[in-house]
Structure 1
Amino acid sequence: MITVALLSRPGLMDPMQALLARELPGVTVASWPESAARDAELAVCWKPEPGALATMPKLKLIHSIAAGVDNILSDPTVPDVPLCRIVDPDISAAMTEFVLWGTLYFHRDFDRVVSNGRNGVWRRYEQRAAKDRRVGILGLGELGSAAAIRLVELGFAVSAWSRSPKALAGVRTYSGADALDDFLGETEILVSLLPLTASTVGLLNAGRLGRLPKGAALILCSRGEHLATEDLVALLRSGHLRGAVLDVFEHEPLPADHALWREPGVLVTPHMAAIASWQVIAQQVAENARRLLRGETLLNVVDRARGY
């Protein structure tokens, strides 16, 4: 049978031990840096220790426990073996729920009402029809497309930007670097669902966020590394941006003393937008383990050049 190594911060993947044993009878599961882990053929990872994967001579497959693999590819010493990710249909539904909630949070002025409520201020705001509110989706992959479709169904004016041209019914689409500023210029609520790649690190900076119309809002549920936090705070304090819902951060968990917790206009959520269940992760890892042993085509293989 196969040996599986679990590489993450201590304790994170403890549920995987029993689940993989059930899915793969006879499997050996070891947590890094146990000696058995160093001889594993399959590495299951979340933010593995830099250089660790390069010290595993029998490694044949690396598997992320999430849809994103940036936490693995950030290590330049990662061996040139197949890299797979998790694709969970429930993640798409969960992310769409989060995006809809965030959109309504700003569209229906809940951000202002909650703030007013803390001060005993009774104030109603003029309501706008969904068709008069333009929501922009950054990233038109599986998650972005699902969210965009649902927003269209609710009547919102929806735009989307992607690296390469894509078409989606009811959505005004933009593609390529040259079109990004035009996309941002019409977006009142910006939803970031981009993958994290070398070209998207720091993309949401003063120059880009400043292109949004005055009073626009940001919903960040992709990766914290996309955001230049100080630039966001400056735009909020200047009044150019109205607010932000931030679900992801460069360093997690966000420290209790971090200024973002108390920044007016910012709502921090604890990376909760969409999380794959351990059961689904174990099932997909096990299926790829079986395919690896049989020499069959693997599922959800990452194109390293694109980063997803």
Structure 2
Amino acid sequence: MSIVIIRQDGKINEWIASLKKNNSDIEVYSYLEAHPKDKITMAIVWKHPNGSLLEYPNLKCVASFGAGVDFIFDDPGFPRGVAVTRVVDPVLASDMSEFVIANIFNFLKNLTDYKSDQLSEYWNRRPYKRIADVSVGIMGMGALGSLAAKNLKQYGFRVHGWANSPKPNHEVRTYVGQTELQSFLSATDILVCLLPLTEETNGILNKELFRNLPHGAYVINVARGGHLIDEDLLEMLDNDHLAGASLDVFHEEPLPKKHPFWRHPKILVTPHTASVSDMDSVVPQLLENYNRLQKGAFLHNIVSAKKGY
């Protein structure tokens, strides 16, 4: 029983070294080198080439390096019936929460606008907002959304959540399903998207949704680029219904050079950096699941193929 790592960002050798550091006896290979494909029972992947998983006839588990798994189910060559797991990591969740909070304060205090003013040598005091002036709505109340909500509450923000299905959360009120979506949006001044990307949530950040937000609302997307209809966001920014947006994820990454987001004065672009898997935190849980796979035990953090998360 062996592991293959499939990712396309030049970091395969780093992950192999970290896995071997934690277990020197483990057999782990890069998909780019010659390796015994019939011995592979676990593939650890991040945005793997479509169809590459079909090369392993004895594959029993596909493990995502991160919290997202949409790219696995989007692969037309994904071998159905194979278990899929994701990372549930307190470090990942904490990093995401900090990034969301930083973006919210950036919006409240006009920091991106002041950087633009600085480059233009323009001295211009702008009216700012306070914590008490806004309500934060989080779409997606899983591990990441729940921690962000808890931490925002500690700062004194009014926070509420929205999810497709009921979520036990004692920190904030959570609206559920399409019947409560409009009520959620109408009470939201700052919208944070932390939803999983599924057939139901693909394109959910669209013109119709934005219209249900209060005038002057701000949008933060740190989930997946597929949640957003780019043209709809641009229209709602240009007609001043939305005050601005912070985007960390995109349909195509890196964001193409001529994409209008780059130079839009109301959009802050960051390079999918809100929350990056930490090797020291992630590797032990990957190895724990590999050991469980060898013993035929129940795997941690299994993803529902039906739900997509």
TM-score (norm: length of structure 1): 0.93
Contact 2:106 2:112 in 1 (8 A): yes
- C-alpha separation in 2, matches of 1:10 and 1:137: 30
Q: Partner of 1:184 in structure 2?
A: 185
Q: CA RMSD in A?
A: 1.8
Could you tell me which amino acid in structure 2 is paired with residue 24 of structure 1?
N
Q: Partner of 2:18 in structure 1?
A: 19
| Alpha-carbon distance, 1:132 to partner | 2.6
- C-alpha separation in 2, matches of 1:84 and 1:169: 27
- C-alpha separation in 1, matches of 2:264 and 2:117: 15
- C-alpha separation in 2, matches of 1:291 and 1:173: 35
Instruction: Confirm or deny that 1:142 pairs with 2:143.
Output: yes
Post-superposition CA distance 1:215-240 (Å, at most 9, x none): 11111101111001111111111111
Post-superposition CA distance 1:127-178 (Å, at most 9, x none): 4441231111111111111111111121111121111123544523211012
Contact 1:138 1:160 in 2 (8 A): yes
- C-alpha separation in 1, matches of 2:109 and 2:296: 53
Change (3 A) 1:28 1:166: closer
TM-score (norm: length of structure 2): 0.93
Instruction: Confirm or deny that 1:8 pairs with 2:7.
Output: yes
Name the SS of the counterpart of 1:41 in structure 2.
strand
- C-alpha separation in 2, matches of 1:48 and 1:205: 28
Contact 2:85 2:300 in 1 (8 A): yes
Contact 1:5 1:31 in 2 (8 A): yes
Q: Partner of 2:61 in structure 1?
A: 61
Contact 1:5 1:37 in 2 (8 A): no
Identity of aligned residues (%): 40
Unpaired stretches in structure 1, ≥5 consecutive residues: none
Q: Give runs of aligned pairs for residues 289-300 of structure 1, distance below 5 A.
A: 289-300=290-301
| Alpha-carbon distance, 1:267 to partner | 0.7
Q: Partner of 2:93 in structure 1?
A: 92
| Alpha-carbon distance, 1:89 to partner | 0.7
Contact 2:88 2:143 in 1 (8 A): no
Post-superposition CA distance 1:168-221 (Å, at most 9, x none): 445232110121122112211111110111111111011112221111111110
Could you tell me which amino acid in structure 2 is paired with residue 62 of structure 1?
V
- C-alpha separation in 1, matches of 2:153 and 2:279: 32
Larger mean CA deviation between 281-290 and 64-73 belongs to 281-290
- C-alpha separation in 1, matches of 2:298 and 2:21: 23
| Alpha-carbon distance, 1:110 to partner | 2.2
Contact 1:31 1:37 in 2 (8 A): no
Instruction: Confirm or deny that 1:28 pairs with 2:65.
Output: no
| Alpha-carbon distance, 1:113 to partner | 2.8
Instruction: Confirm or deny that 1:261 pairs with 2:262.
Output: yes
| Alpha-carbon distance, 1:35 to partner | 4.1
Name the SS of the counterpart of 1:159 in structure 2.
strand
Q: Which runs of 4+ in 1 moved over 6 A?
A: none
